[in-house]
Structure 1
Amino acid sequence: MSKLADNLNTILQRIKELSELNQTSVRLIAISKTKPVEDIIELYHAGQRYFGENYVDELEKKSNDNLILTQCSDIRWHFVGHLQSNKINRILTRVPNLDCIQTIDSIELADRLNNNLQKQSKTLNILIQINTSNEQQKSGIEQKDFLSLYEHIKLNCKQLICQGLMTIGSLDNVNTEDESDFQVLIQCRKELCDKYNLSINDIELSMGMSNDYERAIQVGSTIVRVGSLIFGVRH
């Protein structure tokens, strides 16, 4: 077994152990930012289907690579970076197998996406990104405003399928045991479910990366975004 496949299986085994303890289903998004297409194909053949990218240019290039198109027919791409309005048309028309945009953080962005999808008679899975640490350098809607964004999407954006909530942990907490960002997202899910009479199981929580995915699962994450632990460090 290759090193990459070995890394993948180690992560999947750990996810399985933790999710069984929690009695939850957890999905792994392999974050392939800056990594070559060959690595993605290798992991695809090892069984991984969901991959995430941070930049539209890189996602467009990789998703259209001839080897990906011919060898990875049911690959599923998640966009996990900040989406600029001027790149909406590109991501929607030039990325085959786009499964989800995890970073919707404003009414304007939701409307533009929805209008573009409407013209194509398509729907798309999304998550609402919340800035749980209130860091100015980070994208995401403020906690106090996320319910109004959810309501706007629910009422006005019929092409968007809002599957849940997403956060990027505090940049200061990378190597600490601080779970405050996770707890904020969990509280947001509770508010959302209480207001709309939803089951907690119906709302995905995308939180946890290479440094903290285990703790994220332990407190309730259903999607983890792991890059360097699978692919190795980025240069």
Structure 2
Amino acid sequence: MEHLNFISDNLADVNSKIDQALAAANIPNKKRPCLVAVSKTQPKEYVIQAYKCGQRHFGENYIQELNDKANDQEIITQCPEIKWHIIGHIQTNKINKLLASPNLSVIETIDSVKLAEAINEAIKRNDLIKGTIDVFVQVNTSNEEAKSGIDPEHLVELVEFITTKCDRLHFVGFMTIGAYGYDVSLGPNPDFLKLLEVRETFCKKANVDQTTIELSMGMSCDYEHAIHLGSTFVRVGTGIFGPRKAKV
């Protein structure tokens, strides 16, 4: 395996930029965002190296790849406190494979009552998972038909369903992917602004303190901008691991 010091350097750089972005952010009740290292298509050695450098939260887009890495004996042995996030679309026929992934910590892509109910019932049948799993509701902020995520108009009823009917799911906040390639020199990303609006509207209706609701938005190209606007979870892949590896 190639020299892996670049991962340590990149992680230090990303964490420094997170701290700088937070310091510059004009937002109330600042708290340091959680960095999710997106290891999609990257080899397990990269995950282990990042873990050795202090990284704990890792995100995968595909359930099969998450399951393979989470069950890898080297990762299990060398990364005992790893926390896996699924950040890609979830098909109901893959739920059991998802839940068979050790150290699954966060599901960021709940976008329907049907999916929430199916995952909740599957957790009840799963001996591997004790207690609850943290979940985000994914919001389609860009109105793109090809994108997953719930329409903001139906968001409140989904959150209410999760909080009242899904005893094994713990709702923590909202997530968006947003439109790709937005030029932040044009001003605040409208998808990020939409997620802020979604949170504000929800909190008013539910009489909830906004600071208790997490926001997962921002990736390698725009995580600093997302932090300026109030993101509390950022998903960074190429900024840590370099270009994605081609699947063989």
Counterpart check, 1:76 vs 2:79: no
Residue 98 of structure 1 corresponds to 104
What's the Cα RMSD here? 1.5
Counterpart check, 1:112 vs 2:118: yes
> What's the secondary structure of 1:171's corresponding residue?
coil
User: 1:176 Cα deviation (Å)?
Assistant: 6.3
Alignment counterpart, residue 134 of structure 1, candidates 139, 143, 147: 143
TM-score by length of 1: 0.95
Residue 230 of structure 1 corresponds to 240
Amino acid paired to 1:17: Q
User: 1:203 Cα deviation (Å)?
Assistant: 0.3
**1:172-195 Cα deviation digits (max 9, x unpaired):** 526764510000000011011111
Residue 221 of structure 1 corresponds to 231
> What's the secondary structure of 1:173's corresponding residue?
coil
**Paired residues of 2:84 and 2:105 also in contact (CA < 8 A):** yes
**Paired residues of 1:175 and 1:211 also in contact (CA < 8 A):** no
User: 1:159 Cα deviation (Å)?
Assistant: 1.0
Distance in 1 (CA, whole Å) between partners of 2:43 and 2:226 is 28
User: 1:163 Cα deviation (Å)?
Assistant: 0.3
Counterpart check, 1:56 vs 2:73: no
Alignment counterpart, residue 222 of structure 2, candidates 209, 212, 215: 212
Counterpart check, 1:190 vs 2:200: yes
Q: Which consecutive residues of structure 1, in runs of 5 or more, have no partner in the other structure? A: none
Counterpart check, 1:27 vs 2:34: yes
User: 1:208 Cα deviation (Å)?
Assistant: 0.2
Report the number of matched residues. 234
Residue 38 of structure 1 corresponds to 45
Distance in 2 (CA, whole Å) between partners of 1:220 and 1:74 is 27
**Paired residues of 1:174 and 1:211 also in contact (CA < 8 A):** no
Distance in 2 (CA, whole Å) between partners of 1:49 and 1:19 is 20
Amino acid paired to 1:5: S
Alignment counterpart, residue 171 of structure 1, candidates 177, 180, 186: 180
Q: Which consecutive residues of structure 2, in runs of 5 or more, have no partner in the other structure? A: none
Task: Classify 1:172/1:72 alpha carbon distance in 2 versus 1 (closer, same or farther; 3 Å).
Answer: closer
Counterpart check, 1:148 vs 2:154: no
Amino acid paired to 2:13: T
Residue 7 of structure 1 corresponds to 10
Distance in 2 (CA, whole Å) between partners of 1:48 and 1:207 is 19
Distance in 2 (CA, whole Å) between partners of 1:117 and 1:174 is 40
Residue 92 of structure 2 corresponds to 85
Task: Classify 1:174/1:118 alpha carbon distance in 2 versus 1 (closer, same or farther; 3 Å).
Answer: farther
User: 1:152 Cα deviation (Å)?
Assistant: 1.2
**1:114-162 Cα deviation digits (max 9, x unpaired):** 1112234641110000000010111000111111111111111111100
Amino acid paired to 2:111: D
Amino acid paired to 2:204: D
**1:37-76 Cα deviation digits (max 9, x unpaired):** 0001001000000000000110010111111011000000
Distance in 2 (CA, whole Å) between partners of 1:89 and 1:159 is 15
> What's the secondary structure of 1:102's corresponding residue?
strand
**Paired residues of 1:28 and 1:225 also in contact (CA < 8 A):** yes
**Paired residues of 1:4 and 1:231 also in contact (CA < 8 A):** yes
**Paired residues of 1:166 and 1:206 also in contact (CA < 8 A):** yes
Q: Which moved more, 1:164-173 or 1:49-58?
A: 164-173
Residue 20 of structure 2 corresponds to 17
Distance in 2 (CA, whole Å) between partners of 1:55 and 1:86 is 13
Distance in 2 (CA, whole Å) between partners of 1:61 and 1:40 is 13
Distance in 2 (CA, whole Å) between partners of 1:185 and 1:75 is 28
